[in-house]
Amino acid sequence: MPNKFETITELKNHLLTILDDKKADQIVTIDLKGKTSIADYLLIASGNSSRQVGALADILYRDLKDHGIKSRIEGVPQCDWVIVDAGDIVIHLFRPEVRSFYNLEKMWGVEIPQLTQSPE
């Protein structure tokens, strides 16, 4: 199937929608254009467990493949920190304590959003 996204921004927005729909937490987008050549965007999100992190990575990988976009995944055996590399967009998926330890957002000068608590 050919890539249906005309721009990298459309793809980024599509991936953000998937992360939100699948209940990823603390989703952050970091625009890297003009800062580095590794990618145009970093997407960072947390899953509540290793199982959720692995499932998010699998869903993103399959969706990218279905749209004709080659990607690769690293970190799946443990699923503490999984990277889905789609070329111009790199997605980092963490368990919360691992994300807090590595604090990638600080390296790029952005804040981690607070978890939203559902009303009880």
> Which of the four pLDDT bands, split at 50, 70 and 90, describes residue 48?
very high
26 class by beta-carbon count within 10 Å (0-12 exposed, 13-18 middle, 19+ buried): middle
* Residue 2 one-letter amino acid: P
Read off the tokens for 52.
Answer: 């959720």
CA dihedral 45, 50, 56, 60 (to 10 degrees): 100
Domains of the chain: 8-105 (3.30.460.10)
pLDDT for the residue numbered 1: 46
Read off the tokens for 120.
Answer: 């009880």
Residue among 88, 96, 87, 22 nearest 58 (CA): 22
Is the pLDDT at 69 greater than 70? The verdict is yes
Give the integer Cα–Cα distance in Å for 19 and 69: 17
Q: What share of the chain has pLDDT > 90, as a percent?
A: 71
Residues with Cβ within 8 Å of residue 37, at least 6 apart in sequence: none
Give the mean pLDDT of 16-25: 97
